[in-house]
């Protein structure tokens, strides 16, 4: 087992270049700290000495206040499946905005988007719109509890499902809450089966991501997801799939890729076509608890649910995410991953890459461990690679996270290859002396 030790001098060498390239971002972040905690309005994305400040996005590129152009491999936390200012989305948004942004009553666009989702995703018989992945996850838990009459959920340790207390159990060392939220290790089907055997009568829903992305990209062992799904069914619990990030893995989402049949699935991230949106979909029988004419209807409000603009941009974006587009993204990611692995070996750097399809984690160690996104601490060597990549015009997640968009191709893909290989060389130079 090996990993790099990034000394203070090594970091300073790469950081000096970053400071010279980004003085306007530095000044803007100094102002931001007067009004925003640490200058931030979200958790993910922070890094030392400060994040770049964006000025505009163009296709596969993000441009900062200093005019530096970056191939964007973070894509706003996987919410930009077609990159920045995707022309079909911009055109549709411009036309729709002239008619307003939303209203109390349904719209034809809302109905059309709901139809598209139900026709595309096998597990969707009915859908409800929300405003984010967090909201759709919260609603999934409410629906599961109302349908089963049970109070608790079971989830994976370190599984991230948005900013909702019950779904944050198991993150940031938050312990189980008896009668409310139970935990088992991701990838350990036997542990999930034991938890269901012990608490099955309490558990309304078992919720899983098909692969974990936040903190450490972690793929599921073969058969794990299907086995947990079956165990949930035996216990009378609903199997709930969090496909906010991984809908991108197949035309019908990760359920299609991994042959799953979830009772409920919740979506966020790119489902609004770069605007805020979330979706909960599932079996009609389960979703019927939201029916206002039902015997005990579950109320669900939200002034911006299914708003005109997000429905328009979401539908256009999803229509352009074809099976061919997904296959092309996957192939480009595989090429990038192979190039990084080969270059790291040539430079004598320990490197681990983990992922599936168009997403991966890149870690400068042969034994990657989770970093705590509550305090933004990836291992020092991976943080150093992230900063070096920025110096060479490549933006990835600060913990080594990468997700390609449909427009990460051609010259932009070449720039990503060249920039990341140059960043590896920089890290090798300052750590090997």
- Say how far apart CA 195 and CA 178 lie, in whole Å: 12
Taking every pair of Cα atoms in the chain, the longest distance, rounded to a whole number of angstroms, is 72
Task: Please state the φ and ψ torsions of residue 265, each to the nearest 5 degrees.
Answer: -135, 135
Per domain, the residue ranges of the chain are: 8-85+322-432, 87-319
At 367 the pLDDT is 80
- Say how far apart CA 386 and CA 381 lie, in whole Å: 9
CB 191 within 8 A of CB 226: no
CATH code for residues 87-319:
3.40.640.10
**CA trace torsion 21, 349, 47, 169 (10° rounding):** 160
The DSSP bridge partners found for residue 203 are: 152
At 324 the pLDDT is 98
- Say how far apart CA 219 and CA 361 lie, in whole Å: 11
Neighbours of 38 (CB within 10 A): 11
The DSSP bridge partners found for residue 127 are: 281
Which residues contact residue 421 at a Cβ distance below 8 angstroms, ignoring those fewer than 6 apart?
Answer: 339, 340, 343
Q: Which of 214, 158, 245 is nearest to 378 (CA)?
A: 214
Give the tens place of pLDDT for each residue, 70-127: 999 999 999 999 999 999 999 999 999 999 999 999 999 999 999 999 999 999 999 9
Which portions of the chain are predicted below pLDDT 50? 1, 373-376
36: exposed, middle or buried (Cβ count in 10 Å: 0-12, 13-18, 19+): exposed
Q: How far is residue 11 from each of residues 49, 70, 83, 361, 384, measured CA to CA in Å? A: 10, 21, 30, 21, 6
8-85+322-432 and 87-319 in the same fold:
no
Q: Which of 55, 7, 1, 2 is nearest to 383 (CA)?
A: 7
Tokens describing residue 84 = 């920045």
Q: How far is residue 223 from each of residues 227, 360, 382, measured CA to CA in Å? A: 6, 21, 31
The DSSP bridge partners found for residue 365 are: 3
Overall size of the chain counted in residues: 433
Q: How far is CA 280 from the centre of its chain?
A: 16
CA angle 165, 170, 174 (to 5 degrees): 70
At 426 the pLDDT is 95
**pTM for the model:** 0.95
3-state secondary structure 362-398: EECECCCCCCECCCCECCHHHHHHHHHHHHCCEECCC
CATH code for residues 8-85+322-432:
3.90.1150.10
Query: What is the per-residue DSSP string for 92-115?
Result: HHHHHHTT-S--SS--HHHHHHHH
Q: Which of 390, 380, 339, 391 is nearest to 360 (CA)?
A: 339
At 425 the pLDDT is 96
Neighbours of 345 (CB within 10 A): 11
- The pairs formed by 114-119 with CB atoms below 8 angstroms and a separation of 24 or more are 114/306, 116/315, 116/318, 116/319, 117/279, 117/281, 117/318, 118/281
């Amino acid at each position: 087992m090996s990993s790099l030790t990034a000394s203070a001098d090594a970091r300073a060498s790469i950081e000096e270049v970053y400071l010279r390239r980004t003085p306007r971002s530095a000044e803007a972040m100094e102002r931001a700290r007067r009004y925003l905690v640490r200058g931030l309005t979200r958790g993910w994305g922070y890094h030392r000495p400060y994040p770049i400040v964006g000025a505009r996005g163009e296709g596969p590129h993000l441009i900062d206040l200093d005019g530096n152009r970056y191939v964007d491999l973070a894509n706003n936390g996987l919410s930009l499946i077609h990159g920045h200012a995707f022309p079909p989305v911009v055109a549709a948004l411009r036309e729709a905005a002239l008619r307003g942004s939303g209203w109390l009553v349904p719209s034809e666009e809302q109905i059309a988007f709901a139809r598209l989702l139900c026709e595309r995703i096998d597990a969707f018989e009915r859908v409800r719109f929300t405003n984010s992945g967090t909201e759709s996850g919260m609603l999934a838990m409410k629906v599961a509890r109302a349908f089963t009459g049970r109070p608790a959920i079971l989830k994976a340790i370190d599984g991230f499902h948005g900013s909702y207390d019950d779904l944050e159990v198991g993150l940031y060392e938050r312990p189980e809450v008896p009668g409310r939220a139970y935990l088992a290790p991701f990838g350990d089907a036997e542990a999930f089966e034991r938890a269901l055997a012990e608490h099955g009568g309490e558990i309304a829903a078992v919720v899983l991501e098909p692969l974990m992305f936040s903190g450490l990209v972690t793929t599921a062992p073969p058969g794990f997801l299907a086995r947990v799904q079956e165990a949930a069914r035996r216990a009378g619990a609903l199997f709930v799939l969090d496909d906010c990030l991984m809908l991108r893995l197949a035309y019908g989402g990760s359920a299609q890729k991994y042959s799953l049949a979830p009772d409920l699935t919740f979506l966020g991230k790119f489902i609004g076509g770069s605007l805020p949106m979330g979706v909960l979909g599932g079996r009609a029988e389960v979703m019927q608890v939201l029916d206002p004419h039902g015997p005990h209807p579950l109320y669900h409000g939200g002034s911006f649910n299914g708003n005109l603009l997000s429905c328009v941009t979401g539908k256009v974006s999803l229509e352009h995410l074809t099976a061919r587009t997904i296959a092309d993204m996957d192939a480009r990611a595989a090429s990038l991953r192979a190039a990084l692995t080969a270059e790291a070996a040539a430079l004598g750097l320990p490197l681990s890459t983990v992922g599936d399809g168009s997403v991966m984690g890149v870690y400068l160690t042969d034994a990657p461990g989770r970093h705590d996104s509550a305090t933004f601490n990836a291992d020092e060597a991976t943080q150093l690679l992230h900063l070096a990549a920025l110096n060479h015009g490549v933006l990835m997640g600060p913990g080594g996270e990468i997700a390609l968009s449909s427009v990460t191709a051609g010259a932009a893909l070449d720039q990503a290859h060249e920039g990341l290989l140059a960043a590896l060389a920089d890290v090798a130079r300052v750590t090997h002396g």
